[in-house]
Amino acid sequence: MRPRGIDFFVYNVSDIARSADFYENTLGLTLRSREGPGWVEFAVGDTPTVPALRPDPEGAGAAVQGGAIAIAVDDVGQAVDKLRHHEVDILFGPGAQASCYTAGTSDSDGHLLLLHSR
């Protein structure tokens, strides 16, 4: 696994419409994409890293509460294989999403890390 950068970070929010309105109309971020009722991405200047919002998952474990960082990799499947070789738990995936391929794991403190490719 060779990380290329951070693609995005995501915040779980209690009201996605209210939060999206705040980021777009109060902070002035540019709406980049809206994928149904469960995902909103914003553009911030010239940086490729974008903030994203999603509804806070009800009943989710501690690993997905709060936020996550998506680490850009060339091949999510190979990255998962390498992590499994090091006995790292894979929480979900790898699998295709609407516009990307992703898998989830967590760091030693339980923070959600996404392995991500577009």
d(CA 86, CA 102): 19
Q: What is the mean pLDDT of residues 102-118?
A: 83
Q: Quote the pLDDT of residue 45.
A: 74
Overall number of domains in the chain? 1
Domain range for 83: 5-117
pTM listed for this prediction: 0.65
CA 96 to chain centre: 13
pLDDT tens per residue, range 26-45: 767 888 888 888 889 888 77
The proportion of the chain whose per-residue pLDDT surpasses 70, expressed as a percent, equals: 88
Q: Any idea what the CATH number is for the domain that residue 18 is in?
A: 3.10.180.10
pLDDT tens per residue, range 51-89: 788 776 665 554 455 678 888 889 999 999 999 998 889
